[in-house]
Structure 1
Amino acid sequence: MLNLALASALALAPQSTPTDKLPPAPDQSTATESPTTTARPLTGKGEVGNGQDAATAFQPGQTQAAPADQSMVPTGFARFQQQNPIGKTLRKLKTDGIALTLDFVDNLAANPVGGITHGSAESHWVMGAADIDLGKVVGLSNTHLHVQGAWFTGNSLGRESIGNSISFQQTWRPVSGPRLTQFNIEHDFGRFNLMVGRAALNSYFNNSPLNCAFMSNVTCLTTYGGIADIGLTAYPNSSWAAKGRFALTDRLYVQTGVFDYNTALNAAGKNGLDLSLFKGSGVLIPGEIGYETSFAQERLPRRYKVGFYINTDGGTNPYHDVDGNSAALTGLAHAPQHGARIGLYAMADQTVWRAPGKSKRNVALFGRVFGNVGNTAPIDWFASAGFVNTGTFKGRDNDTIGFIVSDTHFGRDEIAFLRDRRAAAGGTGAPKADEIIGELNYGFAALPGLRILPNLQYVINPDPIYAVNRKTDIPDAIVIGLRIDAHLAQLFGG
């Protein structure tokens, strides 16, 4: 399940202009992240309902939803993994302290029903990373260097055929191309873990292995709302950061951090290589307390987290322009806001059933909620709930069935902006404040390192944020999707 999450446009949500009049709404440029970071597993690690051991499998940003290895690997393939030279080289490097990763994730989506028009889209990313154990390489014990880069490309079904801001493809980003997504060093001081360098905030806070068990971007890596409202740095965007995590017990931890807020770093052509310091317009400060257990600690493991986000850059008002009038009607820039953007969140994963004995076949329920409590923002609150069933049929211990339903509640000012923009285009009325999205999927663990995830998504009240000239509500849409995850190092037995 990677950091999903995943999959993000490399700029802030576009501001309204006289030509396009797009609202400062939740934009996939920062609001839809996809998975993949190679950061080390969190201290006080836990495992809930996905059949993985968090100590070895879950890393912030993983896209894999279930165990990497299938319980019944074909004999011929197992022999290939043991004997091929690539796998041998990767294992040797890992023994020497250098763990290499190369992943490919593809999303295909089509809407045969609803939306502005019926269409299809494909998007994908390729990610390469190195986790270097500096203790083995240069004798600096308990210290790891993380380097990661990714290349995104493709089209968005949500924007182009449906007109809404929430993507149905967690691999899509508004700005395509290569990007340095992570470059940091991490040191363990026993109970205290410190990370310093370039990183994305959503790789470390408010996430879970279950978040990226889906293709929709309402939950991968971080649940929708926080990135749109607060402006969190989110994969593949990164900024200068420092994060500390303290394990109070083997189950309970607290963590906080400081992340530079500099949207210029996400612009096209920057590629994550602009290492400018102290040029941002604010600072992001997250905090979290969490309780996690694993299958090794209790029969029905769980994960509970509560936290906050603060952005000292107050953002802009969704409705008012610089003169205090409707930005949708005047076409002027949105009014800057003083104070801070602040959000609160809570999440829970709870395994509710497990097969007898030591089996990790299980069913886990989950719930997520985010609320805006600071400056006026596009989204008032977001909530989601669902389940992941790991181990579906006899001999399919690592296949999964996933279901999620979410409700994104847009704020009064955001709806007023969209109402006025509709009026300016010659329409009447306002869009609904609640956009409800559901997804049902089946994750087929075809081979170690290869997962195929057909899925069906349904959206009620699609928001018209990218349907600039829409005069009426957008019809509810059905989206048929297919996600393919290929973790090449695992495929080769590395």
Structure 2
Amino acid sequence: MIGCLLRDTVDHGSSVGKSIRRFAFIAILSAFQSVLAPCAQAADQPPVTDVLPSGVPLPFPSTAPDNLPQGWDTMVLGDLGGYRSRLRAHGVRINLQDVEELWGVASGGLSRGATYDGATIVTLNLDTDRLIDPQWHGGLFNISAIQLRGRSVSADRIGAFNTISGYDAGGRGMRLFEMWYAQGFWNNRLDIRLGVMDPDTEFLVSDNASLFLNADFGWPGVPSSNLYGGGPSWPFAVPGIRAQIIPTYPVTILLGVMDDNPTGGPFFSERSALDMNPSGTRFSMSTGVLVMGEVLVTVDASKLSASLENALPGTWKLGALYDSGAFPDRRYDTQGHLLAGPTSNGSPMMRRKNWMVYGIIDQTVWNPDGDAPEAVSLFARFMGAGNRGNAMTFGANAGVTMHGFVPYRPDDVVGLAWGVSNDSAHALDFNRDQLQFGAADVLPLKAEHHIELTWQAPVWRGVSVQPDFQYIHHVGGNIVNGATGKRVKDAAVFGLNTTASF
């Protein structure tokens, strides 16, 4: 609403001008107040766990809104003697998350051994109506930064296409994550964000899949392989604008328009994505525009049967993305010759535009005692993409999460999940061309599958420990180990994740 957007513009050189502007503001605010619905007190404030790409603490399924204020009992340092409460009263919220991971390859992969990685994320939220001006309702400023450390177990010891963890970024250093301003309108039926943002905190997300550590259960392998720099996903963010619309309360619509290249570099590069954009502040905006849209419907499956008394909450999503950039053909060069052939110039033909569609189901299927700790939920996500300019055209993952099944530990969550990413027809044809022309160290492509068993156990306020086991079948799509010259065998990997919220 206009009354929520206007502020008293102060002309420091003229007290008369200042008075006129204040009078005009009050008049316009009064005129529209009786016509338009009041603004929300703050824009949609993201949960503090939005900055976590995987191993996210999974709350007990509930029909209550997700965006409830987090209490101090969910943080290690609590209220810090009342300082946090005082800051929040003035519109300031500071959160810090720390993640430590240890991974060990027990069999298969490139080599056996242990690897460490970790991340620390700091987030600052500022409510404009409390911090700046009570008349500036519904505004929220968000900025966050990430410190990465450790090595990549996926690159160094496994060779898997889907990285073993969302934190397995393969780089070190401090970088900007997100920096955006959000404005809420009409009791947050409309929420607009503008700035540098990471779309995978909202788009393409399965809440139950976020429990698992493998990166494919976060920002999945299909867009990671098909978009520039793996697409705008953790730990990268890109300039853009996002609108969240709630036309009716069971339905939410997300629309986003943003830069499609988080690295600012070419599609193929010998440098890693983090090396091309180490600080998170390189915004090239030179390759194309990424448009994402998603419709979310909140359901209660218990209402489908008169015999069920306790709620069975769920969310069903349907979405798509479109990229206006140019993408390399996976089989032909700029002269129309086979890339794998002896006459190829080595430069792939570039094809304009790219797209992907997806569907996500998160559904609680068993909840015998309502608010009691026992519940079973299922998730499934399916993705389909175009063929010529993509390495992957189909992906799927599915799994089950179970609350309250560990004896004497009602808050623990156990999960079992599976995922797969399938190569495109052109990628398979290129592989067959390589074999036909006698390329060295090349084997027939096969779809990589991964299975994960995980157990998330809260051990203290704000601290959870998560033992994890993953099995990777057809590692890297059936690749050769350069050190041995033999096919990389299926990998069995054990891990331990510790997540703390301070």
Which structure 2 residues correspond to residues 139-158 of structure 1 after superposition, within 5 A? 139=133, 140-158=136-154
Change (3 A) 1:254 1:47: farther
Report the AA paired with residue 431 of structure 1.
L
The structural deviation recorded for 1:288 is: 0.7
Cα deviation code 1:238-283 (max 9, x no counterpart)? 1110011110211102121110123444653744453657x42100
State the partner residue of 1:179. 175
Change (3 A) 1:466 1:256: farther
Stretch moving more, 202-211 or 239-248 = 202-211
Report the AA paired with residue 227 of structure 1.
S
Report the AA paired with residue 390 of structure 1.
H
Percent of residue pairs bearing the same amino acid type:
18
State the partner residue of 2:398. 385
Report the AA paired with residue 358 of structure 2.
Y
Question: Do the aligned partners of 1:436 and 1:459 also contact (CA within 8 Å) in 2?
Answer: yes
Question: Is the aligned partner of 1:319 residue 2:319?
Answer: no
Change (3 A) 1:52 1:442: farther
State the partner residue of 2:14. none
User: Unaligned regions of 5+ residues in structure 2, if any?
Assistant: 1-47, 265-272, 304-309
State the partner residue of 1:61. none
The 2-side partners of 1:47 and 1:161 are apart by 33
The 2-side partners of 1:442 and 1:305 are apart by 26
State the partner residue of 1:119. 113
Question: Is the aligned partner of 1:227 residue 2:224?
Answer: yes
Question: Do the aligned partners of 2:287 and 2:326 also contact (CA within 8 Å) in 1?
Answer: no
Question: Is the aligned partner of 1:302 residue 2:314?
Answer: yes
The 1-side partners of 2:387 and 2:328 are apart by 12
- How big is the alpha-carbon RMSD for the aligned residues of Structure 1 and Structure 2? 3.3
Report the AA paired with residue 365 of structure 2.
V
Change (3 A) 1:471 1:401: same
Indicate the SS of the match to 1:240: strand
Indicate the SS of the match to 1:93: helix
Question: Do the aligned partners of 2:364 and 2:375 also contact (CA within 8 Å) in 1?
Answer: yes
- Tell me which of 373, 377, 380 is aligned to 1:367: 380
The 2-side partners of 1:246 and 1:47 are apart by 25
Change (3 A) 1:129 1:415: same
The structural deviation recorded for 1:130 is: 0.7
The 2-side partners of 1:336 and 1:183 are apart by 36
The structural deviation recorded for 1:473 is: 3.1
Question: Do the aligned partners of 2:388 and 2:426 also contact (CA within 8 Å) in 1?
Answer: no
Stretch moving more, 466-475 or 364-373 = 466-475
Question: Do the aligned partners of 1:48 and 1:302 also contact (CA within 8 Å) in 2?
Answer: no
- Tell me which of 280, 283, 289 is aligned to 2:295: 289
Report the AA paired with residue 200 of structure 2.
N
The 1-side partners of 2:193 and 2:350 are apart by 31
Question: Is the aligned partner of 1:255 residue 2:254?
Answer: yes
State the partner residue of 2:164. 168
Report the AA paired with residue 293 of structure 2.
G
The 2-side partners of 1:409 and 1:125 are apart by 30
Change (3 A) 1:57 1:210: farther
Query: Whose Rg is larger?
Result: 2
Which structure 2 residues correspond to residues 461-476 of structure 1 after superposition, within 5 A? 461-463=474-476, 469=482, 472-476=486-490
Cα deviation code 1:443-462 (max 9, x no counterpart)? 11001210100011011111
The 1-side partners of 2:335 and 2:431 are apart by 18
The structural deviation recorded for 1:464 is: 5.4
The 1-side partners of 2:282 and 2:488 are apart by 42
Question: Do the aligned partners of 1:134 and 1:141 also contact (CA within 8 Å) in 2?
Answer: yes
Indicate the SS of the match to 2:210: coil
Indicate the SS of the match to 2:180: strand
State the partner residue of 1:192. 190
Report the AA paired with residue 421 of structure 2.
T
Question: Is the aligned partner of 1:396 residue 2:402?
Answer: no
The structural deviation recorded for 1:415 is: 3.6
State the partner residue of 1:41. none
The structural deviation recorded for 1:374 is: 5.8
Question: Do the aligned partners of 1:131 and 1:144 also contact (CA within 8 Å) in 2?
Answer: yes
State the partner residue of 2:275. 268
Cα deviation code 1:108-147 (max 9, x no counterpart)? 2111111122222111111000111111111221110000
The 2-side partners of 1:358 and 1:177 are apart by 43
The 2-side partners of 1:368 and 1:248 are apart by 25
Larger fraction in helix: 2
Change (3 A) 1:267 1:484: closer
Report the AA paired with residue 194 of structure 1.
I
Which structure 2 residues correspond to residues 12-31 of structure 1 after superposition, within 5 A? none
Report the AA paired with residue 170 of structure 2.
P
Indicate the SS of the match to 2:476: coil
Question: Is the aligned partner of 1:479 residue 2:473?
Answer: no
Compare relative contact order (CA 8 Å, sep 6+) and give the higher one, 1 or 2. 1
Question: Is the aligned partner of 1:448 residue 2:471?
Answer: no
User: Unaligned regions of 5+ residues in structure 1, if any?
Assistant: 8-33, 37-45, 59-66, 489-494
State the partner residue of 2:209. 211
The structural deviation recorded for 1:326 is: 4.5
Aligned residues: 432
The 1-side partners of 2:485 and 2:477 are apart by 10
Report the AA paired with residue 444 of structure 2.
A
Question: Do the aligned partners of 1:47 and 1:293 also contact (CA within 8 Å) in 2?
Answer: no
The structural deviation recorded for 1:314 is: 2.7
Change (3 A) 1:155 1:175: closer
Indicate the SS of the match to 2:364: strand
TM-score (norm 1): 0.78
Indicate the SS of the match to 1:105: strand
Indicate the SS of the match to 1:312: strand
Report the AA paired with residue 181 of structure 1.
F
Change (3 A) 1:394 1:56: farther
Question: Do the aligned partners of 2:334 and 2:348 also contact (CA within 8 Å) in 1?
Answer: yes
Question: Do the aligned partners of 2:261 and 2:288 also contact (CA within 8 Å) in 1?
Answer: yes
Change (3 A) 1:51 1:399: farther
Report the AA paired with residue 329 of structure 2.
N
Report the AA paired with residue 252 of structure 2.
Y
